[in-house]
Amino acid sequence: MSETESIIYGIRPVMEAIDNGKTIDKILLQKGLSSALFKELFFVVRQNKIPFQYVPSEKLNRYTRGNHQGVVAMMSSIEYGDIYSIIPTLYETGKVPFLLMLDKVTDVRNVGAIARSAECAGVDAIILPLKGGAQLNEDAVKSSAGALHKIPVCRHSNLVEIITFLQESGIEVVAVTEKAENTYFEKDLKKPLCLLMGNEYEGIAWDYLRKCDASIRIPMVGTIRSLNVSVATGIVLFEAERQRNYNGTD
């Protein structure tokens, strides 16, 4: 899908896409619009909890030469899942939940690479914030080698609420952060688990970090002392996979 094909523009076409249940990643709205029709669209956007951003008209003009009426919707390349229904289903089928949560990882290719590692490591679902993360477009899908179509991806506006829900569901939420005292290979990762990864620049938000049940770090001896987030995620995911599936036999 090209960038042109992955957008819808114009107030009524965007409203129709929402009404028809199309998955929209984000909506760009021109600053200063206040017509009755625009207010109607804005109400629908808020009601459906679709991420939106106010931008100058020049930015919208870069997406299309058509009459966008101050509105451009970025269509998602994947369908999103519902974590509230996924967790009970995992338990009902006898699985030990293995989840991954990403806090504002914004690079599309990093998210794709993380999804690829997650699918290979047996992760049951990926949880993303509704706002602040990468757009899951075709670049993300390509970087994931199709994993984003194979593993459920869930978005939510309040990750603190989701962390609480997971904990109440018997799932331990473990933050991977350089601030931790214990290393990742010292931690028991066999139980119902959600690993939380932050972005490379700011790490995990304090509101999330203080809610976690535990934190772990990847020990480093080099002078740079930082890893690409997709590499760091892969390291910890496969340690969890090893603990869960290696039974000590060849």
Strand ranges, E, within the chain: 7-9, 24-30, 52-55, 71-75, 98-103, 125-129, 153-156, 172-176, 193-198, 214-216
Top pLDDT among 126 and 76 is at 126
- Exposed e or buried b per residue across 146-176, where buried means at least 16 C-beta atoms within 10 angstroms of its C-beta: ebbeebbbbbbeebeebbeebbebebbbbbb
pLDDT per position as a tens digit, 137-159: 888 899 999 999 999 999 998 99
User: Beta-carbon neighbour count of residue 242 at 10 Å?
Assistant: 13
Class of domain 7-75: alpha beta
pLDDT of residue 1: 37
Class of domain 83-245: alpha beta
Confidence (pTM): 0.84
**Per-residue DSSP letter, 63:** H
Tell me, what amino acid is at 117? Answer: S
pLDDT per position as a tens digit, 168-221: 999 999 999 998 999 999 999 999 999 999 988 889 999 999 999 999 999 998
pLDDT per position as a tens digit, 17-51: 999 888 898 999 999 998 999 999 999 999 998 98
pLDDT at 96 over 50: yes
Q: Which residues contact 238 (CB under 8 A, 6 or more apart)?
A: 117, 121
Provide CATH 3.40.1280.10 ranges for the chain: 83-245
pLDDT at 225 over 90: no
pLDDT at 250 over 80: no
